[in-house]
Amino acid sequence: MVKKFYITTPLYYVNASPHIGHSYTTIAADCLARYMRQAIGKDNVWLLTGTDEHGQKIERAAQAEGLNPKEFVDATAVQFKELWKALNIFYNDFIRTTEERHVKTVQRVLEILFEKGQIYPAKYEGWYCTPCETFWMQTQLKDLTCPDCSRSLEKISETNYFFRLSEHQDWLMKYISAHPDFIKPSSRYEEMARFLELNKLEDLCISRPKERMGWGIPLPFSPDHVTYVWFDALINYISAVGSFDDKGKYESQWWPADLHLIGKDILRQHAVYWPIMLYALGLELPKTIFAHGWWMIGQDKMSKSRGNVVNPIDMVNKFGVETYRYFLLRDVPFGLDGSFSEESIIKRFNGDLANDLGNLVYRTLTMIEKYFDGNIPERGVFVKGKQAELIEEKINLINKNGIGLSPSVITDCNFSAALKEVWEIINMANKYIEDTKPWNLIKENKTDELKGFILVLVDAIREVAIQIHSFMPQTSESIIEQLGKDKIKKGKPLFPRIV
């Protein structure tokens, strides 16, 4: 097991309010971080999230609301923080790209790379749509009109700064083929490996002239330019957890990251640009980059233009945090796309949470109440049936592999499979009750058997509560509490069925 675990979410771009996609990545990261805190100690885990706040899109979004960019991002960043609170996200740090610590590091990185000759100025030629304020590459165009607004484009040529991506292709390809865990899941790994095989990397334009786009970090060696997107945003992963000294040496107790969780849309930036930037700086590469899938809304892609964006807060208000977290992590294997609908949330809720888990807890507590006056029977040597042994075996097995997530499950972020494992205990327990028929035991005065039976259930439920802690912290705690130490504190059903 690793000694420290540094996990990140992407920096969310704050040109609009957070949606379920943002919450998905962050909940997954929170779940892993919670799991790892239990496994290796809370001081050894660092979960970083934050917001990406520069760029033209934000400049324009701010304008649309009649705010200056800073006012605008301040307001949106708060929305993200509030959402994380509502979703019970426990992060160690929240970095904003407008913060001084970040700006300084970005400029330092630019400086170092410029001195090393990794960044160079060159004339940049392309087609510009003035009304849209958008720059188009030749390859994006069918004719000389703007793909967005169809107005005619203007050819402009300006000096910009470029990062020498192209000269790094060889070692990156070798690195990737030597590190099968670098990009996950494996389908994405193949995708990237093939991309590098089939395409030649071109140097990356990393600047914009200030007069055209002012809301960004100025290049230290050319104050008339600001950095452009990725050179700003990606650096947060190091700017938040360390700094460069005068000699350009980076110091950090957390770097390299153990896991960058990202959506599949930004895989190339993380799997190609970012490693090359780090390599050029002489820094270690992250251990693993995991690209998860997207939530579709029914069959459709979620997008602002379609107007089908789902607000996580609405879902939380409707179904509760715990259900929302459970649904996202359970319904679809991490890595694949999922189909989001209230209907499927309700299905999961009624099936897994109300009928299986909630009802198991409730019926067990009721039996303890009725048969033992609310006292959990004392431990003793009781005759165990075969089923009881199977349940105990299962519990031990899962315990041995570490809090319900076997090592492969954790490294492959297979939340869904982990929960399935846990639910097997639940199903076994429900079946065990059915087969043991405690209502007959009580009639026949078989108290010892009844005690043994209840203890098996109590153990099973405790185990389940521990297992689900990273996924549904509140539910876990509530179950432990209701079970009490010796005397139960039965409450209302955990998940009252939605009719």
Partner RNA sequence: CGCGGGGUGGAGCAGCCUGGUAGCUCGCAAGGCUCAUAACCUUGAGGUCGUGCGUUCAAAUCGCACCCCCGCAACCA
The upper half-sphere exposure of residue 209, i.e. CA atoms within 13 Å in the direction of its Cβ, equals: 13
Ordered DSSP codes for 274-330: HHHHHHHHTPPPPSEEEEE--EEETTEEP-TTTT-PPPHHHHHHHH-HHHHHHHHHH
Of residues 250 and 371, the one with the C-beta less far from RNA: 371
Number of residues that bind RNA (CB under 7 A): 68
Interface residue with RNA among 69, 185, 216, 263 (CB under 7 A) is: 263
In angstroms and rounded to an integer, the radius of gyration of the C-alpha atoms of the chain is 27
Q: Counting contacts by CB under 7 A, is residue 437 touching RNA?
A: yes
Site string for RNA, 34-73 (x = CB under 7 A): ------------------x--x-x----------------
**Contacts (CB under 7 A) with RNA, residues 183-222:** 187, 190-191, 194
438 burial type by CB count under 10 A (0-12 exposed, 13-18 middle, 19+ buried): buried
- Is the Cβ–Cβ distance between 442 and 377 less than 8 Å? no
Distances (CA, A) of 173 to 188, 277, 278, 393: 14, 15, 15, 45
Omega prior to 220 cis, within 30 of 0? no
Mark the segment that binds RNA (CB under 7 A) among 20-28, 175-183, 239-247, 318-326: 20-28
**Contacts (CB under 7 A) with RNA, residues 287-306:** 292-295, 301-305
For tokens 């990009």, the residue is: 183
Of residues 68 and 366, the one with the C-beta less far from RNA: 366
Q: Counting contacts by CB under 7 A, is residue 427 touching RNA?
A: yes
Closest C-alpha among 57, 59, 108, 384 to residue 219: 108
> Under 8 Å CB-to-CB from 315, ≥6 apart: which residues?
20, 324, 342, 345
Amino acid code (one letter) for 495: F
How far apart are the C-alpha atoms of 137 and 114, rounded to whole Å? Answer: 25
Interface residue with RNA among 64, 122, 197, 439 (CB under 7 A) is: 439
How far apart are the C-alpha atoms of 405 and 414, rounded to whole Å? Answer: 9
Of residues 132 and 156, the one with the C-beta less far from RNA: 132
Site string for RNA, 131-170 (x = CB under 7 A): ---------x------x-----------------------
Instruction: Provide the minimum distance between the beta carbon of 195 and RNA in the complex, in angstroms, as a whole number.
Output: 8
Of residues 25 and 470, the one with the C-beta less far from RNA: 25
Interface residue with RNA among 7, 8, 15, 404 (CB under 7 A) is: 15
What DSSP state is assigned to residue 90?
A: -
Q: CA-based diameter of the chain, in Å?
A: 92
Report helix, strand or coil for 499: coil
Of residues 272 and 494, the one with the C-beta less far from RNA: 494
Mark the segment that binds RNA (CB under 7 A) among 88-96, 150-158, 264-272, 383-391: 264-272
Q: Counting contacts by CB under 7 A, is residue 358 touching RNA?
A: yes
Q: Counting contacts by CB under 7 A, is residue 453 touching RNA?
A: no
Q: Counting contacts by CB under 7 A, is residue 227 touching RNA?
A: no
What DSSP state is assigned to residue 42?
A: G
> Under 8 Å CB-to-CB from 81, ≥6 apart: which residues?
94
Instruction: Provide the minimum distance between the beta carbon of 111 and RNA in the complex, in angstroms, as a whole number.
Output: 26
Quote the tokens at residue 228: 């452009």
Q: Counting contacts by CB under 7 A, is residue 435 touching RNA?
A: yes
413: left (phi over 0), alpha (psi -120 to 50) or beta: left
Closest C-alpha among 28, 22, 92 to residue 51: 22
Interface residue with RNA among 213, 240, 262, 441 (CB under 7 A) is: 262
Interface residue with RNA among 79, 355, 375, 478 (CB under 7 A) is: 355
Of residues 15 and 160, the one with the C-beta less far from RNA: 15
Binding residues for RNA (CB under 7 A): 10-13, 15-16, 19-22, 24-25, 52, 55, 57, 140, 147, 187, 190-191, 194, 262-266, 292-295, 301-305, 336, 339, 347, 350-351, 354-359, 361-364, 366-367, 370, 427, 430-431, 433-435, 437-440, 493-497
